[in-house]
Amino acid sequence: MTLDPGEYDVSELGPELADVDDVDELREILEAEKSGKDRSTAKTLIESRIEKFEGEDEEGSADEDGDSGLDLEEMSAADVGNAVRKIDDVERLRELIERESAGNDRDSVKRLIENRIDSVAGSEGEESDRRPPEERHPELDHPTADKQYVKALDAGVYRDMWVYCETQSGELIDVSLEMLGKARELMDEYNRQYDADERVVAVLIGDDVAGHTETCVEHGADVVVYHEDDRLERFQHKPYTEIFCDMARWGAEPPVGVGEDRTPGTDPDPADWRDYDEPRYTLFPATNNGRDLSALVQGELDSGLASDCSGLYITDVTISNPVKTGGSGNNREFQRVLHMKRPDFSGFEYSTILCLDNPTREFHPQGASVIPGSFDVPQPKPERDGEVIEHDLGLQDEWFRAEVIDFDRLEGGIDLTGNDVVVCMGRGISADPTRGMELALDLADRFERADVGVTRGIVTGSFNFEGHVEQYTKEERQIGETGQEIEPDLYIAAGVSGAVQHKVGCDEAGTIVAINTDPDARIHDWSDYFIEGDLFEVLPRLIEGIDTGEIDLEAAADGGKLE
């Protein structure tokens, strides 16, 4: 066993498991977790990885060219789409179309292969036309021709990792310190690996942020750039974006022209504390405000963004994608690439996002937003020294398009963790959503310490609830991997299918009672009691039984089955 699960937090374990594809090794890891920390979330994570690989026929997998052994008749369209992404040979792709035409003859599959052919063939032979669209197509209308934005640099110089440190109610939030600690770790390793001397730059924007500069330095920043203005007390999109982008280019206007045609004097202005055009990397918190700001800043700087990341590392990478290499069949090595890992399917799979230059266009800064809690808050080091820079920019009144004249601060959200009983409602209430929630509330009212929760399907679904129950269907009551994890003595799940993401949130309950019309629902496999029946008939019988003191689960099933 090459991986000891006990050495990792659950947030770190997912990315590590992504590199393990041997089922026997995964089973060993699972047993190690059971005999060690025995965390339900970690076990579910490992089990889902095992499920992915169980039953796969290794002999039928593709060879290095991507299509040897492909059995198109046995593959779904999604499987074919993933497989052909590895194939750069147009002739082999055309052979696959012929095989599909002679077999299942699915239009969707043939379109996927044809799109891959277009992607590969379209990169060959022609030099990219870098003129703006209004110059390439003067005969067309261009409603965005006057849009002002900072264009990508040509042969730009990039250095340092910038971290936007968000404040709320005048205080630095934890994720800001988490990112500083991770940035410090990344840049220390970066400087060792590349024999460089690049820095961590903290960015503070607000009405009273200068007092946080020392804290940023203590937690890993080499430089802190801050901008203060009384009008920046509350986050607003326009001024915050303009300030950050001005910091990133230090007052530079978009350069005029590219390459040899660039107009002299339009390059970014120099600054005393730095000798480069733009940051190499940027990190933002994946908070409500941070998500907005990260997308706006990266868009203004004409680069890309990997959102909601939980893992980061820097290394070199070799790419064969024709869009990035400039031609089919070529490999190109990219150096100092920030690998940004983000969870898919609620953390049970991970994607690694790369922001790479094209042959005719540079994508910098390489930017990511970071999920709060992904990294530890580092221990402060009061002895650290750092440079503090006050940013100077005249803020235009038109940037402040909205004025907050009054607001209420909400108290803490709903905490379901302290209840003895939790009644959770799922998509099975669709026949009468409001009545379903009323039944849940009536049942919860029969217990002294009880409350109502919901699944993600209720939170994100398009159900119409009447006002008196709508408050009980909000995200703050969501149970599962992306919601609350609870351990009540009794958990009643009505109309809940039992996806693995939901199981994570309630698996430690003392007793789980599931009510569902579908005997094949996944919750059947992990509930203590399964009532096959309609929740609109079963719940009233349970409520009646509690009121009379005589609960007959067989009778509650009303013609269904109790297991």
* Number of helices and strands in the chain (H, E): 19, 18
What confidence category does residue 24 fall into, taking pLDDT thresholds of 50, 70 and 90? Answer: confident
Count how many Cα atoms sit within 13 Å of the Cα of residue 101 in the half-sphere of its side chain: 9
Q: Is the pLDDT of residue 310 over 90?
A: no
Mean pLDDT of the chain: 82
In angstroms, the CA 276 to CA 360 distance is 20
Domains and CATH numbers, the chain: 5-54 (no CATH), 72-121 (no CATH), 159-254+274-399 (3.40.50.620), 421-548 (3.40.50.1220)
| Per-position DSSP letters for 447-515, written without gaps between them | SSSEEEEE-HHHHHS-----HHHHGGGSGGGBBSTTSB----SEEEEES----HHHHHHHTT-SEEEEE
In angstroms, the CA 365 to CA 439 distance is 52
Q: Is the pLDDT of residue 124 over 60?
A: no
Mean pLDDT on 292-300: 93
pLDDT for position 41: 67
Helix (H) or strand (E) holding 215: helix 213-218
pLDDT for position 57: 41
Strands, DSSP E only, in 200-329? Answer: 200-206, 223-228, 278-285, 305-309, 311-319
pLDDT for position 407: 73
Q: Is the pLDDT of residue 277 over 50?
A: yes
Least confident of 37-41, 411-415, 517-521, 524-528: 411-415
Share of the chain above pLDDT 90, in %: 39
Question: Which tokens go with 236?
Answer: 């607003």
What confidence category does residue 253 fall into, taking pLDDT thresholds of 50, 70 and 90? Answer: very low
Question: Which tokens go with 339?
Answer: 């690998």
Q: Does the global pTM surpass 0.75?
A: no
Q: Is the pLDDT of residue 544 over 70?
A: yes
pLDDT for position 261: 53
Higher pLDDT, 120 or 182: 182
Helix (H/G/I), strand (E/B), else coil: 57: coil
Question: Which tokens go with 217?
Answer: 């330095």
- In sequence order, the 6+-apart residues with CB closer than 8 A to the CB of 56 are none
pLDDT for position 404: 79
Q: Is the pLDDT of residue 212 over 90?
A: yes
What confidence category does residue 432 fall into, taking pLDDT thresholds of 50, 70 and 90? Answer: very high
pLDDT for position 445: 95
pLDDT for position 319: 84
Mean pLDDT on 361-365: 86
pLDDT for position 60: 41
368: closest CA among 434, 296, 281? Answer: 281
Mean pLDDT on 386-405: 87
How many whole angstroms from its chain centre is CA 14?
13
pLDDT for position 66: 45
What confidence category does residue 191 fall into, taking pLDDT thresholds of 50, 70 and 90? Answer: very high
Higher pLDDT, 185 or 60: 185
pLDDT for position 257: 46
pLDDT for position 137: 72
How many residues does this entry show for the chain?
Answer: 563
In angstroms, the CA 521 to CA 538 distance is 17
Q: Is the pLDDT of residue 279 over 80?
A: yes
CB 11 within 8 A of CB 373: yes
In angstroms, the CA 227 to CA 416 distance is 40
Q: Is the pLDDT of residue 453 over 70?
A: yes
CB 366 within 8 A of CB 338: yes
pLDDT digits (tens, 9 = 90+) for 55-112: 444 334 444 444 545 778 878 777 787 788 778 788 888 888 888 888 888 888 888 8
In angstroms, the CA 219 to CA 73 distance is 56
In angstroms, the CA 123 to CA 163 distance is 36
pLDDT digits (tens, 9 = 90+) for 321-350: 777 877 766 788 899 999 998 876 544 567
pLDDT for position 251: 47
In angstroms, the CA 523 to CA 492 distance is 11
In angstroms, the CA 423 to CA 453 distance is 6
pLDDT digits (tens, 9 = 90+) for 485-537: 888 999 999 999 998 889 888 988 999 999 999 998 999 999 999 999 999 99
Q: How far is CA 6 from CA 22, 29, 43, 213, 402, in A?
A: 19, 9, 11, 36, 50
Helix (H/G/I), strand (E/B), else coil: 432: coil
End-to-end C-alpha distance for the chain, whole angstroms: 38
In angstroms, the CA 265 to CA 455 distance is 58
- In sequence order, the 6+-apart residues with CB closer than 8 A to the CB of 299 are 149, 305
Using only C-alpha atoms, what is the Rg of the chain?
Answer: 28
pLDDT for position 422: 96
Question: Which tokens go with 260?
Answer: 């040899």
Higher pLDDT, 169 or 514: 514
Higher pLDDT, 289 or 350: 289
pLDDT for position 52: 67
